[in-house]
Amino acid sequence: MTKQIARKGLSRRTRLIVAGVVMALGVGLIAFFGTRAWQSWNRFQYMRAEGLDTGTASVDAIRPWMTIRFVAVAYAVPEEYLHSALDIPFVERKSDTTLGELNRIFDRGFAEDGQELAVVATIRATIEAYRAYPVVTGLRDVRAWMSVRYIANSTGVPEDYLVSGLGLEGDLSAAMPLDLLAEREQIEGGPRALEAKVRTLLDAYTPTINP
């Protein structure tokens, strides 16, 4: 009789422990995903406030949580140009790696002022240098995350030619990623159709040769 009671008591304690672990796990998951959702919301608000979604942001708006691809699209600078400036080995170049992670992985430390990460400082200087002397990379790949300005810079095909050929207007149109642009312009066929139109324009472009 005593042994049966003991077994029942042990079983109850076990159930309480399991229930406690499950509850703790649930609270932990809620806290984890809740924190990430809050961070995402804050970053979204930051993007809108700084003009990162319209291509009008200052280089001072760059933050360690941004990825190489994000910066490339937001500032219309080819990814390979940024990777090259950071001296990242080709086999280790990943577009979805954040600037903070790159700084840690390659042990870049801090900039000369000791206040910001060296990678962030380098990226800012690289964008300013690119704006002064745009580099034509000759890339012909067209994807939904690219903007018309990005494509123009990376192919050497004039931005005005692409904007006009697509029937667009305004500086904002050139700065928006193609997927958002297709949605805003309500283009039939969506981003893929817009990508196809851009490729057609690239193939049809004939550079003007001055005598």
Residue 63 inside a domain? The answer is: yes
| Helix axes of 148-155 and 190-204: crossing angle, nearest 10 degrees | 30
Please write the tens of the pLDDT for every residue from 2-17: 445 444 555 767 766 7
Count of structural domains, the chain: 3
* Same domain as 63, residue 128: yes
Higher-confidence residue: 178 or 27?
Answer: 178
SS3 content of the chain, % helix, strand, coil (to 5): 65, 5, 35
**Under the phi-then-psi rule, with left for phi > 0, alpha for psi from -120 to 50, and beta for the rest, what region is 114?**
left
* Same domain as 28, residue 63: no
Task: Give percent of the chain above pLDDT 90.
Answer: 36
- For residues 79-101, average pLDDT: 88
Q: Using alpha carbons only, how large is the chain's radius of gyration in Å?
A: 25
Residue 49 inside a domain? The answer is: no
Residue 8 inside a domain? The answer is: yes
* Same domain as 152, residue 124: no
Structural domain span for residue 182: 148-204
